[in-house]
Amino acid sequence: MLSSFLQGDLFALFMVFSRIGAGMMLLPGFGETYVSPRFRLLLALAISVVVTPLVSTRLPAMPDDILSLFVLIIGEIVVGIFLGATARFMLVVLQTAGMLVAQATNLSAAQAFDPTQGTQGTLTGNMLGIMGVLLIFVTNLHHMMLGALIRSYEVFPSGATPPVDDFAQMATRLVSEGVGLALQLSAPVLLFALIFQVGLGLMARLMPQMHVFFIGMPLQIMLGFSIFAMSLGAMMTWYLDHFVLPFSTILSGG
């Protein structure tokens, strides 16, 4: 009976835990540096216990040798890391937009500790990162991320070789679209900064005796933050609409 338990239920649980645990180490909100690793592991284990009966028919049989078991586990971890990294990258896109806003408002040198990354970051990038994690949970998008991990068994069958080539193509497309999304999110402030700098240049040519940059820098910060505040609602709505797109593409097999 013990042998049947080890070859059946425990093996299935371990396989599911390998994929879900690897993904949750990177998911926004779950994989942050300020979240205890013990809590993350326990939460991943609890979710795995619930999910295992749902996907047990899609799991392979327990192999006879250690090497085959090791290969199966590595494959599950690779799929989990890819899905978790996809969600994590979408959060990095938001922080990149905040960095562009900081550069456009002359505040790129003002940095503080970013709790979502565990490193130093710009003030606007930190704010957008924290706001992004908050809105992901408020709008229940964390359900979508966890659901993507579960539904991944339909697209990436357990026991099959992970489609590394498809992962590489998807990562390339994700980076390309992510840069474009960061520029779109910060576009109002970037456009203001461009117009403002052109205006300062014209003023410096027309009034050489005036200390243009002495007046322009605080004015650029004030006006830049005003535009940033006015566009923040639309910015976050646009971001949340695009946050789900990579998961839809992955789970549709595209």
pLDDT in tens, 29-69: 888 877 888 888 899 999 999 988 888 888 888 888 888 88
pLDDT at 147 over 90: no
Segments making up each domain of the chain, as ranges:
2-251
Q: What is the pLDDT of residue 203?
A: 81
Q: Report the chain's C-alpha Rg in angstroms.
A: 23
Task: List helix spans (H) across the chain.
Answer: 2-5, 11-24, 37-55, 66-104, 123-138, 141-155, 164-185, 187-206, 212-243, 245-251
DSSP line for 126-175: HHHHHHHHHHHHHTTHHHHHHHHHHHHHHHS-TTSPP-HHHHHHHHHHHH
- Looking at residues 1-9, what average pLDDT do you find? 57
- Looking at residues 203-229, what average pLDDT do you find? 82
Q: Mean pLDDT: which of 56-60, 74-78, 247-251 is highest?
A: 74-78
For the ranges 29-38, 80-89, 108-117, 231-240, the lowest mean pLDDT is seen at 108-117
Distance between CA atoms of residues 199 and 204, nearest Å: 9
Q: What is the pLDDT of residue 116?
A: 67
pLDDT at 213 over 90: no
Q: What is the pLDDT of residue 187?
A: 93
Q: What is the pLDDT of residue 185?
A: 93
pLDDT level of residue 182 (50, 70, 90 thresholds): very high
pLDDT level of residue 188 (50, 70, 90 thresholds): very high
* Entry pTM: 0.83
DSSP 14: H
- Looking at residues 226-230, what average pLDDT do you find? 91
Beta-carbon neighbour count of residue 202 at 10 Å? 11
